[in-house]
Structure 1
């Protein structure tokens, strides 16, 4: 079994749509392998994937590469993935199967309070983030590079509580299909809408916000 480092935190029909979408994504990843899989959700919201068949080890590695995984224990100096659970004046707290605190001094994302940093980089709640385990834990260098790259681009609107398909449909319904490049998947229910060069990210956020019952944050270059 492998536990994916992304959360299912919506209920009702939205939960079923999210799980159906996850099964399709897993099928895309392991469909060419000789393996069967079954998807469940743990009590803490992390999806578990039970694999069986000759290629289960290859499938497990492919899913680890695609999503990151939740592990039962950590080794100092190794990189893991957790979801952004909450933040306070002392830093970020990730859920990586257990709470992992990243002190403000170990974020490495420039000046400002953790709340200001979160908003500047569009870090919606539950977004998966890579960290290096230690005393103290720190945001992984590759994660910092990715987030800084966001601020050098054309602008983004990051959302949670919606699948990639739902986010695309919302952009289309709001009449902004031609104002974006694509919707990038950050997690199962966390997406990043990449703006075209002449699109104003805060304006796009304002326009689609009424259609999307989610947290939305704009990343402005």
Structure 2
């Protein structure tokens, strides 16, 4: 069994669509291997894939590489993947099967409070973020964002602009952009997690304007990254 570092937190018809999307993603990764698998969702909303067959070890490793894994054990100094749970004046909290607190001083994303940083980098709840686990007390011994995560977020601010969305599959976001008449204003919809997407704007596209255009169609948290 692999607990993927991505969540299914919507309900009703959206839940069924999310399960279908997850099944499609998993099949794309391991469908050609000699395995049988079932998909489920844990009580804490993390996706579970149970795998059996001759290639089960390979299949688990493929999914771990593609989506990250939620593990009960952490080693000091190692990098893991968690989902953004909450934020406030003192820092952010990631859910990695247990709460991982990252103090403001350990974000490494420039000036401003964590609330301002979330706004500036367009972070939406539940999006996966890499962190380095640290054992100890106080900022010096607390976990921190991984360098590769900081680099990714800074790259966003040097690009052409983005609109980040949660609570929707990649297909749903693409369809919404098309419905709003902005298909020619974007480069692609980049998948951050199962239900967290990043719409990459074309040069000259105004991210706040795109947000306003699609917001009425998406019952989601939406934030802009403005270069």
- Regarding TM over 0.5, the answer is yes
TM bin, normalised by shorter chain, reads over 0.9
Paired with 1:160 and 1:203, the residues of 2 have a C-alpha distance of 18
Paired with 1:88 and 1:157, the residues of 2 have a C-alpha distance of 22
Question: What is the TM-score of this pair, normalised by structure 2?
Answer: 0.97
Deviation at 1:31, TM superposition (A): 1.3
RMSD over aligned CA atoms reads 0.5
Map of 1:213 onto structure 2: 219
1:196-207 aligned at under 5 Å gives the runs 196-207=202-213
Paired with 1:30 and 1:162, the residues of 2 have a C-alpha distance of 23
Paired with 1:85 and 1:93, the residues of 2 have a C-alpha distance of 6
Map of 2:183 onto structure 1: 177
Deviation at 1:16, TM superposition (A): 0.5
In the TM superposition, structure 1's runs of 4+ consecutive aligned residues that sit over 4 Å from their partners are none
Deviation at 1:198, TM superposition (A): 1.1
Question: What is the TM-score of this pair, normalised by structure 1?
Answer: 0.99
1:115-154 aligned at under 5 Å gives the runs 115-134=115-134, 135-154=141-160
Paired with 2:176 and 2:106, the residues of 1 have a C-alpha distance of 36
Task: From 163, 178, 181, give the equivalent of 2:169.
Answer: 163
Deviation at 1:159, TM superposition (A): 0.3
Paired with 2:40 and 2:123, the residues of 1 have a C-alpha distance of 26
Paired with 1:131 and 1:36, the residues of 2 have a C-alpha distance of 32
Residue 25 of structure 1 pairs with residue 25 of structure 2: yes
Deviation at 1:73, TM superposition (A): 1.2
Paired with 1:197 and 1:133, the residues of 2 have a C-alpha distance of 37
